[in-house]
Every structure is written in C-alpha cells, then in structure tokens.
Structure 1
C-alpha cells in the first residue's frame, strides 16, 4: 500500500562476512580472515551510525544466509530481508520498491563508507523530501548512497556495476528523464589498500588488531 505518513526508511545492503568473499580487493594486502573481520566492523559501524537518527526506520537487506544476521537483528532491533534479483541493480531496485510501499523517503546505503555520518544521512533524507532524489558520489566513480521518493527501476537496468562510470551514468539517466536531484559531497569507500591505510590513520578503532601481510 502507499505510504500514508511521512515515514522515512534507510535500507542497508550487506554481504555475509565470509572470508574470501568480502573485501576481495584488499587481499592479499590483508589476509582473507582480516578482510572479513574488517567487513564485520564496517557493517556494525554503519548500523551504529544510522541508529543515531531518531526519526527513521532501518531495514537490513542481506545477500545470503548467515548466523550473524540474527545477532545484528537483535542488537540493533532491525528487520532482516533477503535481497532478490540477478544483479546488484535488480536487488537494489527490488529493495527500494518494497521500502517505498510504506515510506515516503527511502535511502539505500552500503557498508563500505565509514565517512557517512548521521548529519550526512539527515541531509540526504531532507533532500529526498525536497527534491525527490538524492545521490552521494563515491570518489571511485560509484555512489555511497541513493535516495528516492518513488520507484525508478530505469536507474538500475543494464548497468556495469563495479565500473567507475556508475555515478556518471546514473546522473545522465536522470538528466535524460528530466528528473531533478540533490548531489551530496563525495565520500570515500574502503576498497583498496590505500583506503585501508587512510582508515588506519583516521579511524584506528576500525582497524585495530588487523595486521597487514608482511608486517
């Protein structure tokens, strides 16, 4: 059914912390176990950040079954849903459409960007309310956040996910459709060894005890 109030929802997309399947671009700089541990920390950090907002709902959408989801659901009092679709675009579009059935503003975020703050999220929610669409660019050419006030499946079809052109292609599609949007400041994902080194310097709590191979 359509949203009947001003409910706001943040959808968090997360992968299971399986060594060898997450943060693969950080290996062998980190061991597979350390990369999975870092992924766990980033997921928790993301949920801790979002729960500082008091006027929105949180949904955790996961890519596969894992015992850890039960722990997170209890710790953060969030529902857990299984992603559906053949690629990232289909999965994101499906989750956004479902959330928009009960909310007027929906943000979707990953767990790779610890620079996202409660203030950044609040500005994004406000921008969706005012503009209808908000996007937070990533320095690598993707985006760290997308917010919609209505379904837009054409934003996700036939995309080269993982390419450095995702943000530019998304913006070009909105321009072609005559859709207005608000663009937030660019932020950095944690994907490559240089990103990890920066994280060590700025947020040592997220990297404590994770040893770099060869040191």
Structure 2
C-alpha cells in the first residue's frame, strides 16, 4: 500500500454474545461455541485492519466493546434497523468524522489480509468504488470514495443476488469500480471449515480446531 494512504477503514460488527451472533452455525455448534468463533473472526478482522495504513480505523458496533478490541479504533454505534440502513449510516458517520474515502468490511471474513485491504484503499485513489464479492452471492468489502447513502439504501441484503444488485447500483450511478478477489463469508459450518483450511494461522482457525477436539 502506498505510504500516502488517504482512506479510512471501517468494520461493521456485532458484539460476540451467545445467541446473537452466527446463529446459522447452530447446529452443529452451540450458541456459546458460535459466539467464540465470531469473536475469533472479529479479532482476525481487527488485526488485519490494525496492520493496514489508514487515516482512521473505526468499528461500527452493535453492542459493547470488549477485551477483543485493540487500541487505535474509534467505536461508533450502529444506526438503523435493516442491514442496508446500518451500512449506509456507518458510511455516513465515518465520513462525517473524517471526510476521506471509506473502506468497509464485516466480521465474517477472518482470512482477510492487510494486502487486500491495502489494495482496496489504494484503489479509491483511482476509482469511485471498490467491491469484494463473496462466494455466497453477497459482498465482503465495499469501498466508496464519496460515501452516499443512496448507493446502499434499498439494496436487498442476505439475498442470493445481493452482490449483483449492489454492483448494479454502483454501475447505474456511473461509478468506476475496482474488483477484489472473491472470499468466503463464514455463515455455515461448511464455510467455517473452508475458511479455516485456507487461513490456518488465524485466531478463527485455532478456535475451530479447539472446538473440534
């Protein structure tokens, strides 16, 4: 990543509380085990962001921060009811705090690396948007040089064609979009196994190995 980075990086996440996160992992995992996996994934995501040059690092959090949060992050509350509303609000709040381009990720891709995040941030110097597709048809990253709620609001989330619909929205707005590699979101036990196999040195993979003992 270029040393003169001018993008901020934002994670949108839920506090990893049993019964509130990663409910699609239960079964086979218990709510407590699913929360442990969610916390591990969040730790990996935060670590990747911490290692990436950024003008600001933020966490848009549903819940309260815990010992898993490293130093150097500004915590902002999530606003809105539906996911598209919460994404739009997170972009707007981050941009209001600092009027730089915003790169947003979730807590579902513990395999994310500083190299990928750096590529996204760099791309916003030359493109209007950057987009990382997810294997389930959604997206794992969305970056906007000039965040505008209209680019996100109304896009159906958690839908097989969420990613296509989001890309269509960006295209209709006339934005130049840089595409990143596809990653797998951790939604199911099969996803968890796939991600852990691809990123065996993560907190997430270690947590999954511990549960499989």
SS in 2 for 1:71: coil
Matched, 1:97 2:98: no
**Match of residue 84, structure 1, among 56, 62, 79:** 79
Q: Deviations over 1:135-161 (max 9, x none)?
A: 100010110000011122222222221
1:10 corresponds to:
9
Whether 1:167 and 2:163 are equivalent positions in the alignment is yes
Higher deviation after alignment, 114-123 or 171-180: 171-180
Q: Distance in 1 between matches of 2:126 and 2:92?
A: 19
Aligned ranges for residues 114-125 of structure 1 at < 5 Å?
A: 114-125=110-121
SS in 1 for 2:184: coil
How far residue 80 of structure 1 moved from its aligned partner, in angstroms, is 1.2
Contact 2:57 2:74 in 1 (8 A): yes
Give unpaired runs (5+ residues) of structure 2.
none
Secondary structure, counterpart of 1:111 in structure 2: coil
Partners of 1:27 and 1:137 lie apart in 2 by: 25
Task: Verify the 8 A CA contact 2:109 2:185 in the aligned structure 1.
Answer: yes
Q: Return the alpha-carbon distance in structure 2 between the equivalents of residues 85 and 200 of structure 1.
A: 32
In the superposition, the TM-score normalised over structure 2's length comes to 0.88
- Measure the CA separation in 2 of the matches of 1:90 and 1:116: 24
Alignment correspondent of 1:126 = 122
Greater CA radius of gyration, 1 or 2?
Answer: 1
Checking the alignment, whether the CA contact within 8 Å between 2:95 and 2:102 is kept in structure 1 is: yes
| TM-score (structure 1 length as normaliser) | 0.88
Pairing 1:51-200 to 2, within 5 Å after superposition:
51-64=50-63, 66=64, 69-73=65-69, 75-101=70-96, 102-200=98-196
Alpha-carbon distance between aligned partners in 2 of 1:157 and 1:147, rounded to the nearest angstrom: 15
User: Where in structure 1 are there 5+ consecutive unaligned residues?
Assistant: none
Q: Give the aligned length.
A: 204
